A and B are shown apart, each in its own frame.
Chain A
Amino acid sequence: MSGFKNEVAIIGMGCTKFGELWDTDVKDLIIDACYEAFEDAGVEPKEIEAAWWSSMISGELGRSLAYPLKTDYIPITRVENRCAGAQDAFVNACFSVAAGVYDMVLVCGAEKLKDSGVAAAGVDPTTPYTSRVDSLTVPPTAFAQLAQRYFHHYRIDPVEGKEVLARIAVKNHHNGALTPKAHFHNEITMEQALKAPMVSPPLGLYDCCGVSDGGAAAIITRSDLAKKRRNDFVLVKGFGVSTGHYQAQVRDDWSYVHFEENVRAAKQAYARAGIEDPRKEIDLASVHDCFTITELIICEDLGFSARGKAKDDVIAGTFGLKGELPVNTDGGLKCFGHPVGASGLRMLYEVYKQLQGKAGGRQLENPRTGLIHGVGGTPMESSTAAVIIVGKRD
């Protein structure tokens, strides 16, 4: 499978503090994330030749990025693919660099969810004119049904299943507590997770990720040009993107216990990166834990655990900071927060920092290859999944 392994390098990244940022506008998030990235890369803003902008509800056109940054009439493409928007924007930006069209490209994602006035992830104001008769999929309901079917399918006792999910929440809260820019910094106990108020059974409060404001940015260039900027740049090894087609609703035989989009995106990414055994070859993964059940299933979809067996790995601590394959070392969506269009770049920021050895109290021991995963949409309506594999230069 053709790709652009080792041809594109990440030379700078930025990420704002995530959280309920009542005094911060989306323009501030863009400026703070991008200028951290400029500084990190040692790149002047005027060197940027093109940009990709990712946002769900915080700015529809490319100008949303140009206005705060005052970019010099460069092309800016807006990408919206919900929670996989930033990964998708990043991959498309990589295309332009790998094709030799641009040498210096900015990718930025930012989101103001908390200005909506509702305690949920808001809604896309561009929802099309339709009959409006079909039931809306509120994310907790779609993922609660995923947990319901998963437990039923693999004959997992709901009490045991709930405990497995709680372990994931406890792990991500532990990691979040070690991450200064994360939305939540509180460690939680199993008891807290299990006794938390129910959101959509079986998912309780700690099974759901944060609704946050935040922004993140990356600067990419051709790898042969990267050396002039820094020595510890990070290389793009492989990518995969897959979009579903409402299979769970329209197919009457869809089992609703996995994301086929994740499986397909991972397969593409592994082929491009030359990875044969992801569990052994990947040193850390930042995955889309919008709900604890999602992280559990993703670990199977990405080939970290066998089907129906991710719970054994969760119980064994495989995905903890000291485990065999640490997952969501920065607290994940659960604790770092989930400003939709920015999350993919936040995940990349964590892996980038880990590969550079700059992850502070949660630093892993010499990781070389990291995986970023995002899945936008819901299993009920189908999704776009994206997997990006990055690694240290040889």
Chain B
Amino acid sequence: MVGIVSYGVYIPKWRMPLDLVAKGMSGERPVAGPDEDSVTMAVAAVLDCLKGLDKSRIDGLFFASTTSPFAEKQMATLIAKATDLRESMMTADFGGSLRSGTTALNLAADAVRSGSARQILVVAADCRLGTSGSEHERNGGDGSAAFLVGGQNAALGLESNTSVSNEIFDVWRRSKDTFINSWENRFDLTDGYMKSMREAILALMKKTGLATKDFAKVVLYCPDGRSSTALAKELGFDSKTQLQPPLFGVLGNTGTASPFLLLVQALEGVKSGNSILLASYGNGSDALLLRANEGVEKLRDRSRLKILLHSKRMVPDYLTYLKWRGLLTQKDPRVVYTVTYASAPAIYREKDRILSLYGSQCTACGAVQYPPQRICIKCHAKDTFESIPLFDKKAKIFTSAKDPITGELVGLVNFEGGGRIYCSLTDGDLSEFGIDAAVEMSFRKLELLPSDTTASYFWKAVPLRNGI
């Protein structure tokens, strides 16, 4: 049966206490760090999804997000390159609606069913902005999740699905807007969320012949912390035993990634043979019937969600959050290049070493070198190199320092198995990057200068987020 073979998740390390935006409010929401966006979070989820897997059967990558950093420029290509997937595959961006993740999932399943692809990666990520003090800002959350859809060994079968569309202005953001907009809540819920979700779910139950009691878990996208409970009750589900709680105050509404992340969370306690209902919303609704198969426990146990939710740091204040999102105008402390800017051809010809973090290994003496060299720095052999990916290597800090002007941390990082990189260090204080501290590489967005018109992404070292 076609279904989900593997999955990966990513939640940024940073949390904003909700008290910072609504005095006295308990709980928190994940926020992307200053060097994170939907693309970097998607890369992290895909890497988690592919850990320990053979990548050769993957024939496509779909990226779903309403917050792609580019209006014109595909990002699935960048995610595929950063996760070291081959170029001979189908890539596509899905956007415009928070249900674009489940839509991509359905289309991936259709492609596998039809035989046009063996496996397709579907990754959803969002980093949405609500205006200061708004419910969108309080309820939001940044994160990502990736599903690998395949035809064999699918621990979560994608058994059936239905969709409804709904042309409505309930929640929207124009291309030129920074913040999410919405109409009056009661209109949005009545004629938007409740109506479409109800129609899609009832259609799915009718199509599959399943009754409410037949579902072990019900996973409903939830815009606000209340409405999924109301919807579940209305449809006759037991909101206590069947409904996956929407995790407000912990995870928040992670937008396009939300149905995926809630599904991963709902796998807790699912047994082989269980039916799971998954429904997303955004100008209509997709409802999916998933069937837990043999291996679901194994699939569930690879979840890093608990670790990622536990491993966190608080954003110190609201100004810091605004600064990270580019919403605060401050004097740029950096020295501006008066003549040059990041060069597209330079990035293009070096994309293996930049985006896939390939080093070179000398076949004459074995020395691993980064960036890739043509003359070996140890034995001076010329052009005797093989590429070696370094992004997934364990690593340790050799040196570290704090830039007094920008506050950025930099250091030399030694890879297990050889090789060294001089790079930025992120998601931690200088004290967490002492000599011999264990780190791993994380794909991040670089802050460019005003003279730059592209976007640059590169790898930085981060402290490990293991252990609870």
Chain A interfacial positions (CB closer than 8 Å to B): 116, 118, 120, 122-123, 125-135, 137-138, 140-142, 144-145, 148-149, 152, 199-201, 245-252, 254, 256, 380
Contacts and interface: CB of A to CB of B under 8 A. Distances in A.
Nearest to B456: A133
Interface stretch (B47-55, B134-142, B197-205, B340-348): B340-348
Contacts of A130: 340, 342-343, 346
Contact of B435 (A135, A152, A246, A250): A152
Contact of B367 (A118, A145, A201, A252): A252
Nearest to B422: A249
A125 B414 CA distance: 32
Indicate the member of B373, B377, B404 with the most A CB atoms within 10 Å.
Answer: B404
Given A120-B335, A252-B419, A132 B341 contact: yes
B438 to A, nearest CB: 16
Interface in B282-329: none
A13 to B, nearest CB: 32
Interface string B374-411: 00011000000000000000000011111111101011
Given A133-B446, A152-B435, A141 B346 contact: no
Contacts of A152: 435
B404 A199 contact: yes
Interface string B216-231: 0000000000000000
B341 A129 contact: yes
A141 B456 contact: no
A138 B405 contact: yes
Nearest to A380: B422
Main secondary structure of the interface of A (DSSP, over half): loop
Indicate the member of A123, A129, A135 with the most B CB atoms within 10 Å.
Answer: A135
B339 interface: yes
A251 B399 contact: no
Contacts of B430: 201
15 contacts: A123-B337, A125-B339, A130-B343, A132-B452, A134-B458, A135-B408, A137-B410, A138-B403, A141-B410, A145-B399, A152-B435, A201-B430, A246-B377, A251-B367, A252-B414
A123 B335 contact: yes
Given A123-B335, A251-B378, A256-B412, A132 B418 contact: no
A254 B401 CA distance: 17
Nearest to A252: B420
A200 B412 contact: no
Indicate the member of B401, B435, B446 with the most A CB atoms within 10 Å.
Answer: B401
A138 B410 CA distance: 10
A254 B340 CA distance: 32
Interface string B339-375: 1111100110010001000000000000111110100
A130 to B, nearest CB: 5
Contacts of A145: 399-401, 411-412
A132 B424 CA distance: 13
A18 B188 CA distance: 69
A251 B377 CA distance: 7
Contacts of A245: 377
